[in-house]
Amino acid sequence: MTETTGEGTGAGTGTCAGPPQGDRRPDGADRYTISEVAALTGLSAHTLRWYERIGLMPHIDRSHTGQRRYSNRDLDWLALVGKLRLTGMPVADMVRYAEMVREGDHTYADRFDLLKATREDVVARIAELQGTLAVLDRKISFYADAGRALASERSR
C-alpha cells in the first residue's frame, strides 16, 4: 500500500472532518464539482482553488471544458488537510507534507517526523488549554458568587 491520503478511497471511514460528509458517490462515479466539494468540506470554492495553486492538492481532474472534477480520493485528502489545519499546522507545513507525499515512499521517515512533531504540539496545546480552563473556572466562579451576592442584596 502507498499511503497518500487517509485510508483508501472507500466509503466514509468514521473519522471525518468538520461537516458531516456521508453522501459520497461510489468510486467511478466520483466526479464532484467544486461547489459540491465546497458544500461537503465547508471550504469555499476560492479556498479550494487556492489550495491547488499553492501545491496543497494533488492534480485535480478536469472536465472536457476545463472545470475541476474532484474524486473521493481528493475528498479523503481534504479531510486530512482539515484535520491538520485544526491542529494549527501552518499551511506551508501542509504543503511540505503534500510535496513529500508526491515524492513517494522514500519520504516516509520525514513524514513520520513531521506528524510526530505535530502530535507533540497538539499535546502541548491541549495542556495549555487545560491550564486556561483552570483560570477561567476560578474567575467564572468568582463572578457567579458575586452575582449571587448582588442578587441577594437587591432583594433585601
What does the binding site for DNA look like in residue numbers (CB under 7 A)? 33-36, 44-47, 49-50, 53, 64-68, 85, 90-92
C-alpha span between 101 and 20 (Å, rounded)? 26
Q: What is the DSSP string of 15-64?
A: ---SS----PPPTTS--B-HHHHHHHHS--HHHHHHHHHTT-S-PPEE-T
Contact status, residue 19 vs residue 29, Cβ threshold 8 Å: no
Count the neighbouring beta carbons within 10 Å of the beta carbon of residue 93. 15
The residue among 27 and 128 lying less far from its own copies, judged by its C-beta, is 128
The residue among 62 and 116 lying less far from its own copies, judged by its C-beta, is 116
The residue among 26 and 153 lying less far from its own copies, judged by its C-beta, is 153
DSSP 8-state class, residue 105 = G
- The binder of 33, among its own copies, DNA, none, by C-beta within 5 to 8 A per type, is DNA
The residue among 61 and 128 lying less far from its own copies, judged by its C-beta, is 128
116 belongs to the binding site for its own copies (CB under 8 A): yes
**Amino acid found at 94:** M
Q: Site residues (CB under 8 A) for its own copies?
A: 3, 6-7, 15, 80, 83-84, 86-87, 105, 108-109, 111-112, 115-116, 118-119, 122-123, 125-126, 128-140, 142-144, 146-147, 150
